[in-house]
Structure 1
């Protein structure tokens, strides 16, 4: 690979970003140095890579101000290095603050200067919060992918995320359809991608193997490496790695979005 890939994965809460990120990282780990940075205050991105929840940067900094690399970086499956930014207790403080603090600490520790082959950021889709825009605004990530299903609220969030990407003039690499099994789902997501000037770069089918893997705190690639589901993640990882087709999205306004979605009723 000629240059490292710095990828941000956005999407509505609960849409499957963390599952997508961890399985992408597991796929890349076969022949690449990979760093995963969890930017969701739930701090659950890396659980299936490390096999447990790891301490967050915010939690560590409460205990020691001079945190070192070994305090915040944890090795996971396939040698993937894992970090969780963390966040405040629900209802207390700014959730995006953890992302800002984490990025600055990782910079100070010169983690980025080692330039891993792949860096993946798992980011909550609330782009109105400055903290969650940090991976894009501060040029940590070069390309963005949005995870969505064909459900109204997931696509509504994806459209809002597109507005943030457009405002920050970032590169949207495509839409990842994480299927929920609804009627005409892929058709809906493909048309959404077309409407905003992008494309569907990968389709992940709904599978019980995902939940079975996560119960054991493992990725699908580790728990069921020979499964069709694992192969879907490998195909997605290859598509993202080889992608050189990026756009600044053209999101729909509220009325346009509702009209688009009504077309599938």
Structure 2
């Protein structure tokens, strides 16, 4: 039987990894086989349940194998790790990871990671639960993968009593409802109020949107110190009871999914906090105001050309290489050498930069990535676009 898939969402910094780690541990202690899947490029979801270890990420491992030309040899043991929380209670962990900081799209890394796990047989593994720890940026398609592809059966949203976390929760709820209307099957179970200080703002939002509060996790200095030391909050009796009760309700299917909630529009959301959106639109700034009468205002803004004035000619009669050459030159890249092999496809050399193009079926997407990379101003000497789900450069 396929494992039950749960996705934990919420604004960054709200304690999703804290919540996920204690929930997965409690489920494990109750006799379940659980995989905790970190789905955030900063890859720190599993640190606590692995006693402080920072797990090698799937993205890192895949890139290592790919650079060695043996990505097809990547195995379960390279990306899935085990932690014996206590004798007889083993929790499995995986961090999808992402590109290096500032060097790629985190959402694409998440999408690619799921594709790799599916290729390794994720849906057939002997697990009771896969609990995915996601950041709340569902605007990005990669981070909305569990919703868009119905990979998650149910979603739990971690919030606080602050406006920012509830705004993120509203976006997540809106995304879940949208994908369900499009034929998806993922449903929302409800909200977790983390670091509950006794306020009632989250309650007001929950009432307005029609989502239940599943549990309240109190603000506790002792538990914060446990978490900072990569130790479970379950060591505290009160927190063990909270997570134990929630795990029991989840395992017993005692929490009905919410299908009739309604995410709030912006003006409705502000009303939860006693605020009103002003009428009309804000005042516009003018060019004169920003340029303050400088010469730049009179000259206008110069347009940058991506096409060099002189394009070195590379002799080739291969139609595939010719097409790549034309596309590269159209985005302003000097093509100083071209090669093509059965294994790696097309490789472009532009001065001191080597660009692995690979297959040219999606050459337009690859050209768009290269164009954006050039405009970013970053320096690089190697770009690998053979897998557009996980482009890399250095």
TM over 0.5: yes
Asked whether 1:57 is paired with 2:51, we answer no
1: CA distance, partners of 2:144 / 2:223: 28
Is contact 1:207–1:229 with CA below 8 Å preserved after alignment? no
Going from structure 1 to structure 2, the CA distance change for 1:22 and 1:257 (only over 3 Å counts) comes to same
Specify whether residues 197 and 215 from structure 1 end up closer, same or farther in structure 2 by C-alpha distance, changes over 3 A only. closer
**Which residue in the other structure is 2:176 paired with?**
165
CA distance in 2 between counterparts of 1:27 and 1:171 reads 23
8 Å contact kept, 1:42–1:86: yes
User: Structure 1 length as normaliser, TM-score?
Assistant: 0.91
Partner of 2:206: 193
Equivalent in the alignment of 1:68: 75
Q: Could you list the runs of 5+ residues in structure 2 that have no partner in the other structure?
A: 66-70, 181-185, 276-394
Among 227, 249, 256, which residue is 2:268 paired with?
A: 256
How far did residue 212 of structure 1 move? 2.3
Q: TM-score normalized by structure 2?
A: 0.62
Determine the C-alpha separation between the residues in 1 that align with 2:5 and 2:203. Answer: 25
Distance between the aligned counterparts of 1:71 and 1:191, measured in 2?
Answer: 46
In structure 1, C-alpha distance between the alignment counterparts of 2:215 and 2:33, rounded to whole Å: 23
- Match in the other structure for 1:237: 247
- Counterpart CA distance in 1 for 2:63 and 2:254 is 40
The alpha carbon displacement at 1:19 in A equals: 0.4
Q: CA deviation at 1:131?
A: 0.5
Structure 1: gaps (5+ residues): none
Task: Tell me the CA shift for residue 216 of structure 1.
Answer: 2.8
Alignment partner of 1:24: what SS?
helix
Which residue pairs with 2:195 in the alignment?
179
1:22 aligns with 2:21: yes
The structure whose Rg is larger is 2
Higher relative helix content: 1
**Equivalent residue number for residue 32 of structure 2:** 32
**Contact 2:33–2:91, Cα closer than 8 Å, also in 1:** yes
Aligned runs of 1:204-215 on 2, under 5 Å? Answer: 204-215=217-228
Moved more, 166-175 or 226-235: 226-235
Provide, for residues 166-200 of structure 1, a one-character-per-residue CA deviation record: whole Å limited to 9, x for no partner: 1111311010010252xx52x22122122212100
Secondary structure of 1:79's counterpart equals strand
Shift of 1:236: 2.3
Assess, with a 3 A threshold, how the Cα gap between structure 1 residues 180 and 244 changes in structure 2: closer, same or farther.
closer
Give the length in aligned residue pairs: 256
Larger deviation, residues 83-92 vs 236-245: 236-245
1:153 aligns with 2:171: no
What is the aligned-residue RMSD (CA, Å)?
1.8
